[in-house]
């Protein structure tokens, strides 16, 4: 019995010692764990900032633009055909030469034409003399008054002076004809010798016509530029004999250059004369030029559903040539004094447009109500929250942002 009690006592003692040891161990372990937790809780965790690029919300004008393709051409271009027959005596120019209006391009022999002009002049002088003889008559007192006689006498004096001045080139042909017509009209209105006057006058008129015709034929031997421009082709050579109707010299006026654009039928309502146009030529990709709409064709191409738009552009430096390709950027409407952000600032979350506004290095999203836009900028009709002109808005890096993300602005 004593042995049993001793065994039980030993077991109890051992168990008690073990329990005390376990309790002490667990207490230390919990203490260590608590200290670790406290240490972790007291440690500051560093939150990384996302890099973004920003711009500022601004107020300004937003132009709406229409971009269409165009081809350069000129209003004034021609290939001159010969109007006289003969040998080419002069051909002073070459391809690429600039010419002014009226400059000699080519000269055809004119000996026979000059003879025809002299012959016509002699005949005209003869008819004038006959006319003056035929109108020398005595007026009847019953046919004409003294005032009328004086009027005719004065007109005759002016006419005779005009004949002399015209023959030596001191007055123009149009001025001579004006004086002659007044004198002839006064003579015919007297009623005296009307038939003789008519016959004489008919002869003079025919002589004048023949002289004009001869002078015109002489002028045809001198081929002159009809407008200022540049020689683009010469199809004949000096010394060659040509007939009438032969293509000789081609010329274009680069100052009359225009651009012919092709707009869709649906875009007609946005176009009108005088609208400013920005122009980019394929030949000058880094330069921008300016023009304006000069006219719009009233006819729609039924096949392509396009309408031709003609744009005037300054070409005084002769930079542009017919056939060059260009793009027309037409500002057809401008919204003034509106809230603007770049289009790339707009993102969509849940099918709703928003922008990220940066305040104190925190990106806060703001839902927006969108207005008109062009290729670069977007009108914002309304922002949610306290957003104003001058605030920073994210334009790069916003796709991965969340509301109230910490950001770092980079250039």
- CATH number, domain containing residue 296: 2.40.30.170
**pLDDT average, residue stretch 186-205:** 58
For the full predicted model, state whether its pTM sits above 0.85. no
In this predicted structure, the answer to whether residue 26 has a pLDDT above a threshold of 60 is: no
Would you give the distance in Å from CA 357 to the centre of its chain? 40
Q: What is the pLDDT of residues 284-328, one digit of tens each?
A: 999 999 999 999 999 998 888 899 999 999 998 889 999 999 999
Closest CA to 390 of 56, 54, 55: 56
To which H or E segment does residue 4 belong? helix 2-42
- Do 143 and 210 fall into the same domain? yes
- Do 310 and 405 fall into the same domain? no
- Provide the domain count of the chain: 5
- Do 231 and 101 fall into the same domain? yes
- Do 261 and 330 fall into the same domain? yes
Burial class (CB in 10 A: 0-12, 13-18, 19+), 341: buried
Burial class (CB in 10 A: 0-12, 13-18, 19+), 35: exposed
- Do 81 and 230 fall into the same domain? yes
pLDDT of amino acid 193 = 45
**pLDDT average, residue stretch 369-382:** 92
- Do 134 and 169 fall into the same domain? yes
- Do 311 and 327 fall into the same domain? yes
The per-residue b/e assignment along 249-258, b for 16 or more CB within 10 angstroms, e otherwise, is bbbbbbbbbb
pLDDT-derived band of residue 341, with 50, 70 and 90 as boundaries? very high
In this predicted structure, the answer to whether residue 45 has a pLDDT above a threshold of 60 is: no
Which of 198, 219, 240 is the last residue before a domain boundary? 219
pLDDT-derived band of residue 260, with 50, 70 and 90 as boundaries? very high
- Do 116 and 211 fall into the same domain? yes
Rounded Cα distance between 127 and 117, Å, is: 15
- Residue 259: CB atoms within 10 A of its CB come to 28
- Do 136 and 177 fall into the same domain? yes
397-400 long-range Cβ contacts below 8 angstroms, 24+ apart: 397/50, 397/51, 397/52, 397/53, 398/52, 398/345, 398/347, 398/355, 398/356, 398/363, 399/347, 400/50
| Six-digit token string for 290 | 């300016």
| Six-digit token string for 117 | 């002009």
pLDDT-derived band of residue 74, with 50, 70 and 90 as boundaries? very high
For residue 8, the enclosing domain spans 1-44
pLDDT of amino acid 390 = 93
- Do 193 and 317 fall into the same domain? no
Closest CA to 316 of 81, 98, 69, 41: 98
CATH number of the CATH domain containing 93: 2.40.50.100
Least confident of 10-24, 75-89, 325-339: 10-24
Which of 335, 370, 398 is the last residue before a domain boundary? 335
In this predicted structure, the answer to whether residue 205 has a pLDDT above a threshold of 80 is: no
Query: In this predicted model, which residue has the larger pLDDT, 22 or 281?
Result: 281
Least confident of 154-158, 168-172, 349-353, 391-395: 168-172
- Do 116 and 215 fall into the same domain? yes
- Do 275 and 402 fall into the same domain? no
Provide the angle, in degrees to the nearest 10, between the axes of the packed helices 194-219 and 173-189: 170
pLDDT-derived band of residue 133, with 50, 70 and 90 as boundaries? low
pLDDT of amino acid 7 = 47
pLDDT of amino acid 194 = 54
pLDDT-derived band of residue 95, with 50, 70 and 90 as boundaries? very high
- Report the DSSP beta bridge partners of residue 160: none
């Amino acid at each position: 019995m004593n042995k049993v009690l001793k065994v039980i006592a030993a077991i109890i003692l051992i168990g008690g010692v073990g329990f005390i040891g376990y309790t002490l161990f667990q207490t230390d372990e919990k203490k260590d764990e608590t200290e670790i937790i406290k240490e972790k809780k007291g440690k500051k965790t560093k939150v990384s900032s996302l890099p973004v690029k920003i711009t500022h919300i601004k107020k300004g004008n937003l132009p709406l633009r229409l971009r269409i393709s165009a081809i350069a051409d000129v209003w004034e271009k021609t290939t001159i055909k010969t109007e006289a027959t003969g040998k080419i005596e002069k051909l002073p120019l070459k391809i690429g030469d600039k010419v002014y209006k009226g400059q000699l391009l080519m000269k055809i022999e004119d000996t026979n034409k000059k003879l025809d002009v002299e012959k016509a002049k002699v005949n005209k002088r003869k008819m004038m003399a006959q006319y003056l003889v035929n109108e020398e008559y005595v007026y009847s007192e019953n046919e004409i008054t003294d005032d009328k006689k004086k009027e005719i006498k004065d007109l005759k004096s002016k006419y005779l002076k005009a004949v002399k001045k015209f023959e030596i080139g001191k007055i123009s042909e149009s001025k001579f004809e004006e004086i002659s017509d007044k004198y002839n009209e006064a003579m015919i209105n007297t009623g005296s010798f009307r038939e003789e006057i008519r016959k004489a006058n008919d002869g003079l008129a025919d002589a004048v016509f023949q002289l004009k015709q001869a002078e015109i034929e002489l002028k045809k031997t001198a081929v002159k530029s009809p407008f200022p421009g540049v020689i683009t082709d010469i199809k004949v050579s000096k010394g060659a004999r040509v007939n009438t109707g032969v293509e000789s010299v081609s010329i274009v006026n680069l100052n009359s250059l225009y651009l012919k654009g092709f707009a869709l039928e649906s875009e007609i309502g946005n176009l009108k004369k005088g609208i400013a146009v920005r122009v980019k030529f394929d030949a000058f990709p880094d330069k921008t030029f300016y023009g304006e709409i000069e006219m719009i064709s009233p006819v729609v191409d039924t096949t392509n559903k396009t309408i031709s738009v003609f744009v005037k552009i300054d070409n005084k430096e002769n930079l542009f040539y017919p056939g060059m390709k260009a793009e027309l950027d037409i500002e057809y409407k401008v919204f003034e004094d509106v809230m603007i952000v770049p289009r790339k600032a707009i993102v969509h979350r849940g099918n709703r447009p928003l922008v990220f506004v940066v305040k104190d290095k925190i990106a806060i999203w703001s839902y927006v109500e969108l207005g008109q836009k062009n290729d670069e900028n977007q009108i914002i009709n309304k922002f949610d929250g306290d957003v104003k002109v001058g605030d920073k808005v994210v334009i790069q890096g916003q796709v991965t942002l969340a509301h109230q993300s910490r950001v770092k602005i980079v250039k």
